[in-house]
Amino acid sequence: MEKHFKRFKVEAKPFNADLISSIIWELEIDGINEEDNYLFVFASENSMVNKTNLSDQLNKLKKEKLIENFKIKEELIQNKNWNEEWEKTINVVKVSDRIVIKPSFREYKKKKNEIIITIDPKMSFGTGEHATTKLVIQMLEKHIKTGDKILDVGSGTGILAIAAVKLGADSAIAIDNDDWCFENCIENGKLNNVEDKIDIRNCELSQVKEKDFSVVISNIQKNVLKDLAIEFKRRINEKGTLILSGLLVNDKQEMIEYYSTYGLDFLESKQLEEWISLVFTSN
């Protein structure tokens, strides 16, 4: 039997692909293709994703006055290699003077002292092109020390855990509750020859029994970050570092105040476009 997918055409005014994608990824979707002024969102035929729960997500943005209106069109399409079509849009990304992210199917000549991270996304979030991914990697570049023990929560492609290890961390545990992300993270670990240093798990944070991490990183949506605050605190060692993103500029003060109630002191922030990363230290 031929496999089919649900495809949703999502338009919004104003159209901000990163903002809209970030909130849609909270649903159990299989992928997003970005076009010039709309998104194609893909979900398996038997998934629970529909126009109603997509609308619920976009209404959150509307309520916060981040978009004025939106339109969603749904259709059922025959399975084709739309991942391959999407790959055509994935480019080499220079995150900093030292760090370059590239897919395996793009040629790139490494320059002296550069760290190359190879990521084949397979529709998982974390290609390196999104501002939040760049922000976290830039913070990792600043804060990672040799021998660090890392926990990456919501690992997606595994890009952040891989970057941490390549920057000198001793080991990382990368967790995600999505089967697709779990498999993709394993693939990318092997692509970067760091599979022996990254423990990849398909689980929730509450299932991680280890503690005493020197650095915890998480690039997910604000409400989820708030829900996980106490779990982060329990797993960071004394004077450990917490790096967060998936946050908008206007989330900054709220998150700083919220995390301070859990004994996490604000250290610094960085902004790229309308997105920010926040760094806290455990007191």
Question: Helices (H), strands (E): how many in the chain?
Answer: 9, 14
State the amino acid at position 227 in one-letter form.
D
Q: Which residues pair with 6 in a beta bridge?
A: 43, 76
Return d(Cα 65, Cα 69) in angstroms, integer. Answer: 9
Q: Taking the CA atoms of 205, 206, 207 and 208 in sequence, report the sign of the dihedral they define.
A: positive
CA angle 131, 235, 248 (to 5 degrees): 25
Return d(Cα 203, Cα 233) in angstroms, integer. Answer: 18
Q: Hey, what's the torsion of the CAs at 35, 218, 44, 39, to 10 degrees? A: -10
Distances (CA, A) of 81 to 3, 85, 122, 147: 11, 7, 11, 41
State the amino acid at position 194 in one-letter form.
V
Q: What is the predicted pLDDT for the residue at 1?
A: 46
CA angle 158, 120, 161 (to 5 degrees): 15
Return d(Cα 39, Cα 15) in angstroms, integer. Answer: 9
Return d(Cα 182, Cα 170) in angstroms, integer. Answer: 21
Asked whether the beta carbons of 234 and 211 are under 8 A apart, the reply is yes
In the chain the domains, ranked by start, together with CATH numbers, are 4-86 (3.30.70.260), 136-282 (3.40.50.150)
Which tokens is 169 given?
Answer: 């961390």
Return d(Cα 131, Cα 272) in angstroms, integer. Answer: 6
pTM of structure? 0.77
Asked whether the beta carbons of 199 and 113 are under 8 A apart, the reply is no
Per residue of the chain (283 residues), give pLDDT as tens.
456 788 999 999 988 887 898 889 888 887 787 777 899 898 888 889 999 999 999 999 999 888 999 999 999 887 665 566 666 777 899 999 999 999 888 889 999 999 999 998 765 556 667 889 999 999 999 999 999 999 999 998 999 999 999 999 999 999 998 887 889 899 999 999 999 999 999 999 999 999 999 999 999 888 889 999 999 999 999 989 999 999 989 999 999 999 999 999 999 999 998 899 999 999 8
DSSP category for residue 143: H
